[in-house]
Chain A
Amino acid sequence: MDYLFSVAAIAGINIIMALSFYLPFITGQISLGQAGFMAIGAYASAVCSVKFGIPYVPAVLLGGVMAGVAGFVLGMPALRIKGIYLLLLTMGFGEIVRVIFINIDYVGGAAGLGGIPYQEYTTLYAYGTVVILTVFFYRLRKSRMGRAFQAIGDDEDTAEIIGVNIATAKLTAFSVGAFIAGIGGGILAHFQEYIEPLMFGVMHGVEFIVFAIFGGIQIFWGPIFGALALTFIPEFLREIQEWRMELYGLLLIVMMIVRPQGVIGLDVIKWIKKKLLRIR
């Protein structure tokens, strides 16, 4: 059972990270830098705990705020570019963050930072955050800001014509996405008790994108499902050892051929709602 709780905790952190990617994505911003924001959150919260003895919750929140500030700063130049260029900018940011931490001896450099207090209730905190984020995304969809995000994602020029403040909306989505990633990093740091720059490589950022695309990017339930499924499936496949990742890769290929929009699309949500109404 503890083992499942442990996997569930990692799945919870992955959900947070997938949602951190999804928020700027709604506005058409594809970020490869979420691992970098996660690193900032992880290191900031770890330093708060290890060096200053700040309790868990404020430490994790401070980590999130630090990542959010970094997101705001990066978000400004990011406003000017989009598509593949934004992808490269955020990838470069992720690399810079990683290399900066490698060269800061105060946080252990390449040797990493250990002795981070263990949070026994990581699973609870991770899913508590997921619940808060679920409510946030649910309400966001129906809010003015959420509709503005969606409008920018659909067609930025049209959104501007109808009066949406593009800069504010995109910057907000980018910064809040970074804040969420920072929270994920803080929770991870206190779960692992040790962090090192290698844990936050660009490929880690790609994993979060895979979670979102596999689950579906039409609605926030998609990244949640994707992160859950793609964390648990490789764990259940552990019995087949070396062939595990091959099967995992095959699953992704088949999914992209059969259902490129991801598992959870708007059609699935409509179908579920219909079924639920019938039961009532």
Chain B
Amino acid sequence: MKKDRFVLSMFIVFILVTCLVIAVPVHAKLAGDKVKVGGLFGVSGVCAEWGTNGKIGTEIAVEEINAAGGIGGLPIEITWYDDECKGAPVIPLVEKLTKKDKVLVINGPCQSSTCEVAFPKLNRLKIVSIAFCSSKPGLSKLSKWGFRNTLTSDKQLDPAVKKWKAKYGIKTAVVIYNSEDAVSTVEGKKIMPVLFEKHGIKLLKMFSFQTQTVDFAPFITEIKALNPDGIGIGSCYEAGAKIAIEARRQGIKAQFIGGACNSTPGLIEVGGEAVEGYYGSTAAWIQGNPDPRVIKFVKEFKKRSPAGKDPTYGGLRAYDNMYIIKKVIEEEGVTNKPGDLQKDREKIRQGWAKLKNYPGISGVTTMNEEGDGQGGVKTLVVKGGEFLVK
């Protein structure tokens, strides 16, 4: 009888403890009535397409997170500014978000040249800023507070060059790049020659042009005389598409491979049939990705984007940034108390620094020791008027 009572009471205690564990939420409610997150999106200027992508991606994520109960029970409030894709305006904006708006963390900026100016300031301001489309190698070294949830151009292009060579049997190539743009120059002058050599492609000649160049006929005429198997393009999509159009017009059969900011819907819109077979890379698999989360995101994105355009990888990376911010805040014990603001920012930094295998919609992301994203890179090829993953 006594034994039965003991077993019964132990059973009741077990049930009560189980109920208690289930009843207590995994993440306790944070202090305050909202979680303040900053945003730096260049929605005007040279990187407007990428910045707008980041803004829309962030907005979609914030709405989803808030609808599902927010972070630690509180809704996210985004305070964002247009950094105009320039260096100088970003300085007061980072100061404003840190000191006046008192945000916990900043999603953005986008462009490498903006990161070049913003990241050194973070050491003094002690706030985490996460870029979503900067691809110039080496920038995250500037500050332990600056992270980039993207892949640098060298990491993106390596597998792409390998597959491009295998597909078309490229033995010789030329490189043409925009000498006015930092990332394009690094891609054209440093990354592509090294990768071509690594993969056994002979570099015949390098050409440089400027952003304002509209007529590529002189370059293409010279390239035609060299008769290369491939053409490496370090530039954004507008010039990439124009080069391809002019090359096909002059009857050049060489195959193209473009840098990190080539693989946007704009390349196909401008280039049309001329960019068929054009190789590129992306830090997120978008078109043709069977992941239901990506399909849902693209559908929602197209509703919000100007002219219903598809997103670039920056949109997906900015979206993932918000979910990673939520994960880090909840897991690192951020209190959200005004008095703990600096401690909370340090916790967020530590959370980002040790981020491993995060399964986002842009791929599985791990931060390396420099603060750059690893993983999620895909090689793309234009086929039938759309990007397909190789």
Contacts and interface: CB of A to CB of B under 8 A. Distances in A.
Nearest to B136: A111
B47 to A, nearest CB: 12
A149 to B, nearest CB: 31
A242 B45 CA distance: 12
A155 interface: no
Contacts of A198: 113, 180-182
B117 A194 contact: yes
Given A3-B100, A193-B120, A245 B44 contact: yes
A246 to B, nearest CB: 11
A102 B180 contact: yes
A2 B136 contact: no
B107 to A, nearest CB: 16
A112 B182 CA distance: 7
B105 interface: no
B87 A192 contact: yes
Interface string B72-94: 00000000111000111001100
Nearest to B124: A118
A103 interface: yes
A18 to B, nearest CB: 15
A192 B117 contact: yes
Interface in A98-127: 99, 102-103, 109-112, 114, 118
B43 interface: yes
Given A3-B99, A118-B120, A242-B43, A110 B180 contact: yes
Contacts of B99: 1-3
Contacts of B287: none
A235 interface: yes
Contacts of A193: 117, 120-121
Interface string A183-223: 00000100111111111000000000000000000000000
For chain A, the bracket of interface size reads 20 to 34
A230 interface: no
A10 B180 contact: no
A10 B91 contact: yes
Contact of B82 (A2, A6, A188, A241): A241
A93 to B, nearest CB: 17
A194 B120 contact: yes
Interface of A: 1-3, 5-7, 10, 99, 102-103, 109-112, 114, 118, 188, 191-199, 235, 238, 241-242, 244-245
The 3 closest A-B pairs by CB, nearest first: A6-B92, A110-B185, A3-B96
26 contacts: A2-B95, A3-B92, A3-B99, A5-B95, A6-B91, A99-B210, A102-B180, A110-B182, A112-B113, A112-B182, A118-B124, A192-B117, A193-B117, A193-B120, A194-B113, A194-B116, A194-B120, A196-B182, A198-B180, A198-B182, A199-B88, A241-B43, A241-B81, A241-B82, A242-B44, A244-B82
Interface of B: 43-44, 80-82, 86-88, 91-92, 95-96, 98-100, 113, 116-117, 120-121, 124, 136, 142, 179-182, 184-186, 189, 210
